[in-house]
Amino acid sequence: MFRSFANINYRIWFAGALVSNVGGWMQATAQDWVVLTELTDNDATAMGVTMALQFGPPLVLVSLTGWVADRFDRRHILFATQSALLALAIAVGVLLLNDVMTLPMMFAFALGFGVVNAFDAPARQAFVSDMVSTGDTSNAVALNSASFNLARMVGPAVGGLLIVAIGSGWVFIVNAATFLAMILALSMLRTGLLAPRLKNRNRGGLAAGFRYVWGRSDLRVVFVTVFLIGAFGMNFPIFASTMALEFGAGADGYGVLSSVLAIGSLIGALLAARRDRARVRVVILAAGGFGIAAFVSSAMPTYASYAVTLTFTGFMIVTLLTTANGYVQITTEPALRGRVLALYMAVIMGSTPVGAPIAGWVADSFGPRAAIMLGGTAGFVACAIGVIWVATSGRLRRAENRRFLLTLDETRPLSVVERPDPIEFSDEAAVTTPIRTAKRNDLEG
C-alpha cells in the first residue's frame, strides 16, 4: 500500500504536501464561511459565484497551462505558484483583519487563486510521475489523495474552530505559513533522482492533447464522468454549509461536516492505493455509488444522521477521482502527460463554474436537499453513460477461465521507447565494444 514511500523524494514531497493541504482546507472553510455569513446574509448563490471564479481559470487557461507543464521544469513552476498563493493568502488575511474586505474584492481574490492554481494543478499532478517509477505512479497518486483527504479531515474542523476562536482573517495568515512547508520540501528534493523529462518536439500544443483524448473512447468516458460529478456532485461547500444552517449549526458545525466527509474520502484513497493499477470500471461503479449515497444523505432528518452518510459520499467520490486521475496518468503517453492532465484538471475544476451557481440557486430556491439530489442524479447519469460504453465498446467478453463470468479489457499503462539517434548509438557501441585492429606484420606472419 505504501510502496511509493521507498522513494526519498516522494517521502519529502508527501510531508510538505500534507502540511500545505491542511492549511488549504482551513482557508477554504474560512473563505466559504466569510462569503456566506460575513459578506452576505446566507447567500448560497454568492458562494456559488465565488467557487465559479476560483475554479473557472483552469478551463479558460487550459491551452496555456498544459503547455507550460510540459515545456518547463515542473519543480520551478511549483516554486512560483506556491509563492504566489502564499502572497494572496496574506493579502486576504490582512484585509479581513482590518475589516475592509468586500464581496467584490473577495470575488477578485477568488479569481486570483484560480489563475495561480490553474498553473499549479497540472504541474503538481504530472510532477508525481517525475518522482516515482511508472509502476508506482498509480500508488503515488492514491497516496497523494490520501494526504489530501487526511488534511481534509483535519483542516476544516481546525479552520471552523479557529474562525470562532481568533477570526477568519487569522486563518488565512496561518494558511500562508503552511505554504512554506511545500516550498521547503521542493528545495529539499534530490533533483538527481527525478525521472528524466521526455523532450517533446511536437508543437501541437493543447490540440495534440485533445486529439489524443478524443481518439480514446475510454478516456472520453472518464472525462465525461468527471465533468458531471465535478459540475453537480462536488459542490460540498454549498451542500454542507447550507445543511449546517438548516440544522442550526454554526461555523464549527460546518467544519465538522467537512471533516466527516473526509473520513470516508481517506478510506477510499487508501483502498485505491492497495490496487495494483487504476481501472475504468471502478470509475463507472463509483459514479453510481455516489448517486445512491447522495440521495440517502439528502433524506436524513438530523445533523448526526446526515454526518454519518457523508462518510459514504466521501468514500465514493474519492474512489472515483483517485482512480480516474491514476488511470489518466498511467495510460497516457509521457510526452503528452502534462497537456492531458491540464485537460483533466480543466474538466474537473472548470466544471465548477457550470454547476456551482446552479447548485447555489437550487439550494436558495428549493432547499439544500434538492441541490444534493441534483448531484446524485448526475452520478446516476455518469454511471449510465459508462455502462452503455462498456456494452458497446467491444471490450466486454466472457472470461476464459469462468463460463458465466464477464470481463472488461482494460487499457494497459503505456511504455514509450524512443528510437535512439544513429550517431549516438554507434558512438556508444564503439566505446563499449572496442575493435582490436591487427598489425600488418601480424597478418603477414
Residue 300 to residues 238, 261, 316, Cα–Cα distance (Å): 17, 15, 18
Q: Is the pLDDT of residue 190 over 90?
A: no
| pLDDT (0 to 100) of residue 152 | 66
State the cell numbers at 363: 439550494
Q: How confident is the model at residue 423 (pLDDT cuts 50, 70, 90)?
A: very low
User: For 247-260, how does the pLDDT look when each residue is reduced to its tens digit (9 = 90+)?
Assistant: 887 767 777 887 78
State the cell numbers at 114: 484560480
| pLDDT (0 to 100) of residue 149 | 65
Parallel, antiparallel, or unpaired: how do β-strands 406-408 and 396-398 relate? antiparallel
Q: Is the pLDDT of residue 335 over 80?
A: no
Angle at 409 between CA 403 and CA 414, to 5 degrees: 150
| pLDDT (0 to 100) of residue 432 | 43
From 157-161, 351-355, 400-404, the region with the lowest mean pLDDT: 400-404
Report whether 360 contacts 279 (CB < 8 A): no
State the cell numbers at 237: 461547500
The more confidently predicted of residues 200 and 411 is 411
Q: Is the pLDDT of residue 420 over 50?
A: no
| pLDDT (0 to 100) of residue 408 | 63
| pLDDT (0 to 100) of residue 422 | 42
Report whether 375 contacts 363 (CB < 8 A): no
Burial profile 71-84: b = 16 or more Cβ within 10 angstroms, e = fewer = eeebbebbeebbeb
Q: Is the pLDDT of residue 395 over 60?
A: yes
Q: How confident is the model at residue 391 (pLDDT cuts 50, 70, 90)?
A: confident
The more confidently predicted of residues 266 and 440 is 266
| pLDDT (0 to 100) of residue 415 | 45
Residue 66 to residues 58, 288, 338, Cα–Cα distance (Å): 10, 30, 5
Q: CB-hemisphere CA count at 13 Å for 321?
A: 29
Residue-averaged pLDDT of the chain = 80
Instruction: Give the whole-angstrom CA distance, residue 237 versus residue 29.
Output: 8
pTM (2 d.p.) = 0.65
| pLDDT (0 to 100) of residue 383 | 94
Angle at 342 between CA 336 and CA 348, to 5 degrees: 135
Q: Is 3 exposed, middle or buried (0-12, 13-18, 19+ CB in 10 A)?
A: middle
